[in-house]
Amino acid sequence: MDLLLNILKSVLFGIVQGITEWLPISSTGHLILMEQFMPIQLFSDAASNTEFWNMYKVVIQFGSILAVLLLYWKKLNPFSKALKPQKKRQIYRTWIMILIATVPAAVIGLVLNDWIDAKMSTPFVIACTLIIYGILFIWMENRQRNYAIEAVHQINAKNAFEMGMFQVLALIPGTSRSGATIFGGTMLGFSRSAAAEFSFYMSIPVMFGASLLKIIKAKMAFTAAGIIVLLVGMITAFAVSIVAIRYLMNYIRKHDFKVFGYYRIALGIIVLIFGAVGLLG
Amino acid occupying residue 267: L
Q: What is the mean pLDDT of the chain?
A: 92
Show the CA angle centred on residue 38, arms to residues 122 and 8, nearest 5°.
135
Q: What gap in Å lies between CA 19 and CA 91, rounded to an integer?
A: 27
Residue 149: beta bridge partners?
A: 190
pLDDT of the residue at 219: 67
Q: Are 206 and 166 in contact (CB under 8 A)?
A: no
SS3 of residue 154 by DSSP: helix
HSE (side-chain half, CA atoms, 13 Å) at 80: 14
Under DSSP, the state recorded for 153 is G
Higher pLDDT, 79 or 279: 79
Q: Side chain identity at 124, as an amino acid letter?
A: F
DSSP state of 149: B
pLDDT of amino acid 1: 61
DSSP single-letter state for residue 220:
S
Lowest mean pLDDT among 4-18, 48-62, 73-87, 206-220: 206-220
Q: How far is CA 265 from the centre of its chain?
A: 19
Which three-class secondary structure state does DSSP give residue 190? strand
- Distance, in Å, from the CA atom of 130 to the CA atom of 58, rounded to the nearest integer, reads 19
Q: Is 10 a residue whose pLDDT tops 80?
A: yes
Q: Give the single-character DSSP code of 278.
A: T
99 forms bridges with which residues in the sheet? Answer: none
Mean pLDDT calculated for residue range 166-184: 93
Give the domain ranges of the chain: 2-276
Sequence length of the chain is 281
The pTM score is 0.91
For residue 44, the SS3 value is coil
Residue 149 phi/psi, 5-degree rounding, is: -120, 110
Q: Is the pLDDT of residue 221 over 80?
A: no
Q: Where are the alpha helices (DSSP H) in the chain?
A: 2-20, 27-37, 46-59, 61-71, 73-76, 85-119, 123-142, 157-169, 177-187, 192-217, 224-252, 258-276
pLDDT category at 41 given cuts 50, 70, 90 is: very high
